[in-house]
Amino acid sequence: MKQVQAVIFDLAGTVVDFGSFAPTTIFVEAFRRGFDFDITLAEARVPMGLGKWDHIKAVGELPEVAARWQSQFNRAMTITDIDTIYRTFMPLQIAKVADHAELIPQTERVVSELRSQLIKIGACTGYPRAVLDALLPALTANGFTPDCILATDDLAAGGRPGPYMALKNVIELCIDDVKTCVKIDDSVPGIMEGKNAGMWTVALLLSGNEAGMTLAQYEKADLTTLKKVRQRAQEAFQASKPDYMIDTIADLPRVIHEINGRLLQGERPS
């Protein structure tokens, strides 16, 4: 009988860093330090999930950002500019990433429940390896120890939305059927990564980038506020067509149970 064999987790906004603030705030700072150029936190969030160099490039291509850059510098952003911002970003992110390593509530319980079902735990991230290596000790200390974890620059083929990190997890975890794998992520490129790999995909609506709330804001929000934020996040994910959309990782076990039932019926990911 085919049942879920592995879950491949994203990191920021999925299992750590409620609201995905570690990368977004550093992008704002890197643009400012590199060129005395301001972007908003909302603009920094738009391409979330991509590798960080590609993320900087995508922010620079946003029409409103490109127009302000042209106005300030009398030219378009260049590859050299992107390289400069990336070089500024890296030490800032390495220094700060461990400050955002607190696990999202219920992560340990959910992972323990998955392991009790003999489900393997994989992970991948839009962080480059140097940033991931700075984060790993804090991840381990806080109780998240996946069986495999990959950074966006670990593979020559590249990162999201390509399937490569997800499929490398499949290989390293010795999974014999990709359709028994689940990819869970708070970003559209992360969902597309899972879909391109042929996995079930689960989008997170309230703990990650699309909602952009701190844990305190989430816990204090009333039902009306949560409904509005949830609807906004659902609209953001709509084009990527995830198989499931849930609020946080706490809701994952019921999804795994449903996927197991669908696998028994011979269904495949959408």
Residues marked as catalytic: 10, 52
In sequence order, which ranges of the chain are alpha helices (DSSP H)? 21-35, 41-45, 52-61, 63-73, 79-96, 107-116, 129-142, 164-172, 188-196, 215-220, 223-237, 252-264
User: Which amino acid makes up residue 230?
Assistant: R
DSSP letters of 137-161? Answer: HHHHHHT---SEEE-TTSSTT--TT
For residue 5, the 8-state DSSP code is -
Quick check: helix, strand or coil at residue 122? strand
Tokens of 68: 């302000």
Beta-bridge mates of residue 244:
202
DSSP, res 99: G
Pairing of strands 181-185, 244-246: unpaired
- Residue 31 CA, distance from chain mean position: 21
Neighbours of 68 (CB within 10 A): 15
